Amino acid sequence: MKSTQCQVAIIGAGPGGLSIATELKKLGVDHVALLERESTAGGIPRHCGHSPFGMREFRRVLSGAEYTRRLTAQAEKAGVEIRLATTVTELGQCGELSLSTNEGRQQLKAERVVICSGAREKPRAARLVSGARPQAVMTTGALQSMIYLKQQRPCKRPVIIGSEMVAFSAFLSCRHAGMKPVAMIEAGPVVSWWRLAALLPRLLGTPVLTNTSLEAIEGKDKVRAVMLKRPSGELATIDCDGVIFTGQFIGESTLATMAGFAIDTVTNSPLVDAYGRCSNINYFASGNLRYPLKTAGQCWREGRDMASLVKASLDGKLPDRWAQTNA
Amino acid sequence: MPDDPSSDRIAGEEFDVVVIGSGVVGCAMARRFTLEGARVLVLEKAADILDGASKGNSAILHTGFDAEPGSLEQHCIQAGYEEYLQVKDELNLPVLESGALVVAWNAAEAEMLGGIVDKARANSVRDVQHLSSAQLLVKEPGLSKKAFAAVEVPREFVIDPWTTPYTYLLQAIENGATVKRDTAVIDADFAAGLWQIETNRGKITARTVINCAGLYGDLLEQKLLGQSAFEIRPRKGQFLVFDKSASRLIDSIILPVPNEITKGIVVCRTIFGNLLVGPTAEEQQSRDDASVDANTLQALHNKGVEIIPELANHSVTATYAGIRPATEFKDYCIQPYAEQNYISVGGIRSTGLTAALGIASHVFRLYQAMGNSHNQIDNFVVPDVLPLAESLERNWSKPGNGGIVCHCELVTRHEIEQALSGPLAANSLAGLKRRTRATMGRCQGFYCSAELSEMCANRLQIPLSEPLT
Ligand SMILES: Cc1cc2nc3c(=O)[nH]c(=O)nc-3n(C[C@H](O)[C@H](O)[C@H](O)COP(=O)(O)OP(=O)(O)OC[C@H]3O[C@@H](n4cnc5c(N)ncnc54)[C@H](O)[C@@H]3O)c2cc1C
Ligand SMILES: Cc1cc2nc3c(=O)[nH]c(=O)nc-3n(C[C@H](O)[C@H](O)[C@H](O)COP(=O)(O)OP(=O)(O)OC[C@H]3O[C@@H](n4cnc5c(N)ncnc54)[C@H](O)[C@@H]3O)c2cc1C
């Protein structure tokens, strides 16, 4: 029988949640429950195939998958109760969590809760993009989880929209999966990330088109082409079989929003005070949910600092008054 | 996989009735005729049911308060409305008892409200009443303070646009009807009291044909009768769907004062707990092009915020469009042709979800008047369909759900497996979405696409992914 009470419940076993949970145990908190809706812990890095992980935490370069395995092992060793395939569906005002598992509806009451539900990319619909609505229109997150978790690819010749760092990550993922992006599109005048980054796709034969906007998606069941507006103002159609929207990160803040906590409507992050508390002070927010986007290492470090604040709150050492900060 | 008529018992068999088209009207038709004892075959040219006009609507269960008094449409709406409320519990179908407010935004519109009340009463919708702007704001504090006055229509409700027709058709199947998807009627000949129907998958024989081909109704009728009594004039409607958080801003369906062409832009909650703004009314040539347009969507967004200012702080979850099978006539074009054993059910423009059950009963009476009779099924089977509405007990809250796959819409493994099996198994991503809502939430597949692509491997006509090689 699963426990129905704990001292601290953490929602989300990404780098942020794993870090807080482990640290709380080290600080001597008795019962820490880490709730994760997926069937494995680790969050986004589970499906990050490249870019180095683990420099801060393990002083070596690890793959995303290896990194999450180590973080998870640490948490288990520290005595964190990790509950997988457990979705938090609703937050009560005093730390009552409604859960859904294969057993149906369950309840868990926590003295304090830390929401570490991460961030995601803004999908096509929320960007109000014109055109048809075929399949194979997706975000980097969907692309990478297909490639690295399921060894599948959704298409072969996608167009990549955006040029934040994650767009280059999407590009590399495509190459890894034997997909050849036909173009990378940036509405602004220059690449959003490191300017020289554009050299890589270009060298590999994928044009990086700046000052170019996506006007419409074409195709009935599958993507057939995209219509672009070039700097000259003229419209150009490029054939492709998929569209990958990258970046424009927003917090996965549904639980906090639905519970009526104050939310920053631009980043979708819960507003927090100097101690990282939401407008309901039984709840904390950490990791990429709180001001996206940070790297895994940054979320991990933030989590360690956060743990001592949560502990202080448990010990009654934080003020009752909540005042929003802009930090 | 495609339902193949040549591969099983239907080739060479004689059906009482062939229903052409499985939009909401065809689905309700199949149910009515099957329950009345007819041997029914449904033919659908698309890979899945509900792929035409029925794919995108506002999902309002209309009382018919603003229909043309005495019209066939008004009659079918009211009959459909009543039958829906009678069967909904048995079929485990939801209803969101929201009520509607027809809101006037200026003095000129306010003057028209009296006419709306009179028309409603003429349509026997007697519980309508005037609300002053003060009463309006007490009832709907989220509404813009600019609202001038309103008429309340308490029994205008919201239902589930997909589970509803799906359940009708499943009930037909479980009581003996046959459905063939991927099967387009190409031509047909009527001789000696029998129709010989040519499809892309072989010939079919039936005594009576009912044309429920929606956006293609006129083209089909030309093929079958040589000419058509109506002409389809496609009229697109685009929608914006806001996040679930927005659905708390308002209780009622907010309707504008209608004009001749359209009921206008509606703001209402959906049965799935979102908030919808739309539809537009755009005449177009294409019968299939349900594309959306960024400028129009932005205009809908602005309109939504104008009506409910707080909407500005809520994010958009989805965009979609539907195409109404409008014609040159205002009323439905339902016409029996007794000499040819043919009934045309055309031009079910913008009220078909509500009216479908009423249309089906009306058409069955026309069919009887043509001299047909059957023995009603006594103990008909009721299908067991998992509900998607927020108001009903969803699968994720029950044991043995297999865990949640689509996190935004809380769609379980069990629900997805159910949707991918059985006689109406989803065979396209769009079909799976309509049956389960997977990927239709705020992340639009960010979190669940990988899991879904694995679950759907070898199940869909157009696969979601292919293995890395
Ligand atoms: C597409 C993409 C690519 C990225 N690539 C990189 C990269 O290459 N390198 C890098 O350093 N950073 C990358 N990032 C940033 C990444 O977000 C961070 O590395 C890190 O994963 C953030 O950790 P987190 O714990 O805040 O959130 P996440 O890792 O997102 O973890 C959140 C966890 O919460 C769970 N969860 C959410 N809601 C619930 C609920 N209701 N109930 C139960 N569980 C829930 C989720 O399933 C998830 O496991 C990327 C981000 C994205 C979106
Ligand atoms: C924007 C919009 C908003 C609406 N809002 C509402 C509302 O709030 N409430 C309400 O009650 N109604 C509403 N409606 C109306 C409702 O959606 C329609 O009246 C209804 O969907 C019409 O259904 P149908 O079965 O007649 O047509 P369709 O759904 O088009 O079905 C016809 C079917 O026939 C098939 N077919 C065509 N030709 C052939 C052939 N040769 N062989 C085999 N199959 C063929 C097609 O593939 C299609 O599946 C709205 C409609 C729209 C577009």
Residues A53 and A74 in one domain: yes
The verdict on residue A190 lying in a domain is yes
Residue A89 domain boundaries: 2-120+249-322
pLDDT in tens, chain B (469 residues): 445 444 445 667 889 999 999 999 999 999 999 999 999 999 999 999 999 999 999 999 999 999 999 999 999 999 999 999 999 999 999 999 999 999 999 999 999 999 999 999 999 999 999 999 999 999 999 999 999 999 999 999 999 999 999 999 999 999 999 999 999 999 999 999 999 999 999 999 999 999 999 999 999 999 999 999 999 999 999 999 999 999 999 999 999 998 766 678 999 999 999 999 999 999 999 999 999 999 999 999 999 999 999 999 999 999 999 999 999 999 999 999 999 999 999 999 999 999 999 999 999 999 999 999 999 999 999 999 999 998 899 999 999 999 999 999 999 999 999 999 999 999 999 999 999 999 999 999 999 999 999 999 999 999 999 999 8
Structural domain ending residue among the three candidates A222, A245, A268: A245
The verdict on residue A42 lying in a domain is yes
Q: Provide the 3-class DSSP secondary structure of residue B441.
A: coil
- pLDDT at residue B261, as a whole number: 63
CA distance A206 to A214: 17
Residues 298-327 in A contacting B (C-alpha not used; CB under 8 Å): none
CA distance B21 to B18: 9
The verdict on residue A40 lying in a domain is yes
Q: Are B293 and A130 inside 8 Å of each other by CB?
A: yes
CB-CB contact of B360 with B83 (8 Å): no
Query: Is the Cβ atom of A47 under 6 angstroms away from ligand 1?
Result: no
Residues A7 and A45 in one domain: yes
Indicate the helix (H) or strand (E) that contains A322: none
Give me the CATH number covering residue A308: 3.50.50.60
Mean pLDDT estimate for chain A: 95
The verdict on residue A327 lying in a domain is no
Helices A15-26, A296-314: axis angle to 10 degrees equals 40
Question: Backbone phi, then psi, for B418, in 5-degree steps?
Answer: -60, -45
For residue B58, give the ligand nearest its CA: 2
- pLDDT at residue B13, as a whole number: 83
Residues A273 and A217 in one domain: no
Angle CA A88–A89–A95, to nearest 5: 65
Residues 6 or more apart whose CB falls under 8 angstroms from that of A232 comprise none
Residues A229 and A132 in one domain: yes
Q: Is pLDDT of A79 > 70?
A: yes
CB-CB contact of A29 with A130 (8 Å): no
- pLDDT at residue B373, as a whole number: 96
Question: Backbone phi, then psi, for A164, in 5-degree steps?
Answer: -70, 175
- pLDDT at residue B7, as a whole number: 46
| Chain A residue with the nearest C-alpha to that of B293 | A130
Q: Is pLDDT of A135 > 90?
A: yes
Query: How far is CA B83 from its chain centroid?
Result: 16
- pLDDT at residue A196, as a whole number: 87
- pLDDT at residue A4, as a whole number: 92
| Chain A residue with the nearest C-alpha to that of B457 | A152
CA distance A249 to A293: 7
Residues A93 and A169 in one domain: no
Cβ neighbours of A187 (radius 10 Å) = 15
Q: Provide the 3-class DSSP secondary structure of residue B336.
A: strand
Residues A239 and A127 in one domain: yes
Residues A29 and A97 in one domain: yes
Residues A46 and A127 in one domain: no
Residues 135-174 in A contacting B (C-alpha not used; CB under 8 Å): 135, 138-139, 141-142, 145-147, 149-154
Residues A240 and A255 in one domain: no
Residues A77 and A225 in one domain: no
Distance from CA of A44 to the nearest CA of B (A): 10
- pLDDT at residue A49, as a whole number: 83
Structural domain ending residue among the three candidates A229, A245, A261: A245
Structural domain ending residue among the three candidates A212, A245, A278: A245
Confidence of residue A1 (pLDDT cuts 50, 70, 90): very low
- ipTM metric: 0.96
| Digit-coded pLDDT (tens) for A18-77 | 999 999 999 999 999 999 999 999 999 999 987 789 988 898 899 999 999 999 999 999
The per-residue b/e assignment along A190-213, b for 16 or more CB within 10 angstroms, e otherwise, is ebbbeeebbeebeeeebebbbebb
User: Which residues of chain A lie closer than 8 angstroms to B301, CB-CB?
Assistant: 128
User: Looking at B117-201, which runs of residues are DSSP E strands?
Assistant: 129-132, 149-153, 157-158, 178-180, 185-191, 194-199
Residues A115 and A256 in one domain: yes
Q: Are A124 and B317 inside 8 Å of each other by CB?
A: no
List the domains of chain B with CATH numbers.
5-56+162-230+329-369 (3.50.50.60), 96-158+233-326 (3.30.9.10), 395-456 (no CATH)
Ligand 1 centroid distance, CA of B82 (Å): 49
DSSP A209-274: E-S-EEEEEE-SSB--EEEEE-TTS-EEEEE-SEEEE---EEE--HHHHHTT--EETTTTEEP-BT
Residue carrying the six token digits 């819960």: A270
Query: Token pair for residue B266?
Result: 């509606």
Q: Are B449 and A85 inside 8 Å of each other by CB?
A: no
Residues A114 and A14 in one domain: yes
Please state the domain count of chain A. Answer: 2
Angle CA A109–B273–B253, to nearest 5: 140
The verdict on residue A290 lying in a domain is yes
